[in-house]
Structure 1
Amino acid sequence: MARLKNDTLVVVADSEKALFLRNLTDHANPNLEVTDEDEQDNPSDREQSANRPGRMQDTGVQQRSAMEDTDWHELAKERFAKDLSDKLYKEVHSGGFERLVIVASPDVLGVLRDEMHKEVLDKLVMDIPKTLTNHPVEDIEKIVKKEMDAA
């Protein structure tokens, strides 16, 4: 069974925000303190697109089809998860944590799993596929403890 030990780093993330919390106590009575926060300004795709989608000639007479445009909003979300992975890599190399718990939306968790370096994965105690970035810290403490107890 995974335990939430003293000084465990708990990262709570979605595709636009990440909270870095440190457990100040033990598993029986977790006390998470926010030590850092990252947030990405990611406007909607419509606001980021420069032009309307391009058009191309179709095989029929006087027919044209729209070309699929790049989804800048989705690209920024994926880039945020990759940047988070890089930040965790730098943290582990500076001795920033010995144990890590990640609580992230399923999409972000998938990108993180693909992008995380071996050194970070070696410190990973548990990952929890939930979106909790807008929850109060007290609720995050209860949910993380409950998920770890169930594992």
Structure 2
Amino acid sequence: MPLANNALVLVTDGRKTLFLRNHGDQNQIDLRTEAHDERQDAKDSEMKTDAPGANQQSGGYGRPTYEETDFHQLKEDRWAHSAAQDVNRRALANDFDALAIIAPPKTLGELRKQLHKEAEKRVVVEIAKEMTGHTIADIEKLLVSVTRAEEPAAV
């Protein structure tokens, strides 16, 4: 499906979020940065306070430990929830009619869980790919390949 003029494009992963706006039309994508946010990852020692827990076994040898919590993944999930809340707020304020989401598969899954029905029905493109470290031109090329629009003219 073509990406309409004024469509919102969310590019996110667990550490960085970009909101881009299509200033082109359905035939030619022209993305411009509207907002961005990035967080720094904390070190393991800053997030953990102790070794993983263990429990007593009724028989056998050794003490099995509980699976260790992945604090980095928890932070990434919270980041995705925050991005979804931004999208929900914008959808409820009628800030966009069409939404394209580009995120790694795990982040995309977290986003889907958190999207409001109003935001959900405006999603026209979902791409399960990590693109936050790429240029806007690369993101445009990806969207062009998926939506069959043309690339913006060189300026």
What's the TM-score, normalizing by structure 1?
0.88
Which residue does the alignment assign to 1:25? Answer: 24
Which residue does the alignment assign to 2:69? Answer: 70
Alignment of 1:49 with 2:65, yes or no, is: no
Q: Which 5+ residue runs of structure 2 have no aligned equivalent?
A: 150-155
In structure 2, distance between residues paired with 1:14 and 1:56: 35
Q: Which 5+ residue runs of structure 1 have no aligned equivalent?
A: none
Kept after mapping to 2: 8 A contact 1:104/1:132: yes
Which residue does the alignment assign to 1:106? Answer: 105
Name the SS for the 2:109 alignment partner: helix
Give 1:42 deviation, angstroms: 3.0
Count of equivalent residues: 149
Give 1:61 deviation, angstroms: 7.4
Report matched runs for 1:86-105 at 5 Å: 86-105=85-104
* Identity in percent: 35
Partner letter of residue 28 of structure 1?
Answer: N
Give 1:29 deviation, angstroms: 2.6
Name the SS for the 2:17 alignment partner: strand
Give 1:129 deviation, angstroms: 1.0
What's the TM-score, normalizing by structure 2?
0.86
Partner letter of residue 115 of structure 1?
Answer: Q
Kept after mapping to 2: 8 A contact 1:45/1:71: no
Name the SS for the 2:19 alignment partner: strand
Kept after mapping to 2: 8 A contact 1:53/1:69: yes
The change in CA–CA distance for 1:56 and 1:100 in structure 2 (over 3 A counts) is same
Question: Which is richer in strand?
Answer: 1
Give 1:69 deviation, angstroms: 2.8
In structure 2, distance between residues paired with 1:125 and 1:63: 53
